[in-house]
Amino acid sequence: MNKSFFTIIVLLSFFLSCQSEKKVDDKEKYLRWVGDIEPNDQLDKTEFIVCNGEDNIFQYFNLGEGPVYKGEKSKILNTFKSKYRPIPDKNQNGLIRIRFIINCEGKAGRFRILQSDYDYQEKEFEKEIVSQLLDITKGIENWEVLKRDNVPVDYYMYLIIKITDGQLAEILP
């Protein structure tokens, strides 16, 4: 009886410990927020810093102004149109998201790429397409400084570039 009782306790403890480990795993699979970008020495310029700490980075839409661009969106569109050299290829179709942080000085850093076809399935575009888009984005020196109570904040921004047959189709948001 005692032996059976002991066995049950051991099994129960084992089961419970698995459960709690699983919960810890669940918690650990997320960063502070969906879409957060952790610093990476291999990828990021060391001079880029956020001004108000990692826990105080907003999303672009948190400040209620919608997607805003220095010189409005038309400037961004013109920059991409003038600098991007199309790579004509019937297989180069889909969406490329470049997500990054804009700090309190309007400087951008921690650029990350996500790519999919038009059916939202992950894929890899020709490197030349992606590198051009990334370089053009990195080349935009000044972004809009967003403020909260007159204090400049850090925020996440992204561009989604739609590519059709290797050509620029649309830039969002």
Partner 1 sequence: MRYFNFLIVLFSFSSTFAQRNCEAYKYNRDTLKYEACKKAMEIKGYYQFSREYQSVLDESIEIDPTFDYAYWAKSIAYLKSGDFVTWKKLIDKAVELNPKEYLGYRGWCRYQFFRDYKGAIKDIEKLDSLVDYDIGQSQNGTYHLNIAKGLCFKAIGEKGKAIAILEKQINQNEEENIVGAYDYLHLGVLYLETENYEKAVEIFIKQSEINELAENQYYLAMTYLKIDNPVGYKSCLQKAKELYIEGRKMSDPYSNPLDKIFLEDIENEIKMAYNNS
Residue (23 or 45) nearer to partner 1, CB: 23
Among 67, 86, 106, 152, binds partner 1 (CB under 8 A): 67
The least CB distance from residue 89 to partner 1, in Å, is 21
Q: Which residues contact 137 (CB under 8 A, 6 or more apart)?
A: 98, 100, 108, 111, 159
Among 79, 116, 164, 167, binds partner 1 (CB under 8 A): 116
Rg value, the chain, Cα = 22
> Closest CB to partner 1 among 39 and 116?
116
What is the closest distance, in whole angstroms, from the C-beta atom of residue 80 to partner 1 in the complex? 15
Nearer to partner 1, 49 or 160 (CB): 160
Residue 106 backbone class (left: φ over 0; alpha: ψ -120 to 50; beta: rest): left
Nearest approach, Cβ of residue 149 and partner 1 (Å): 7
Q: Which residues contact 103 (CB under 8 A, 6 or more apart)?
A: 48, 49, 50, 51, 109, 154
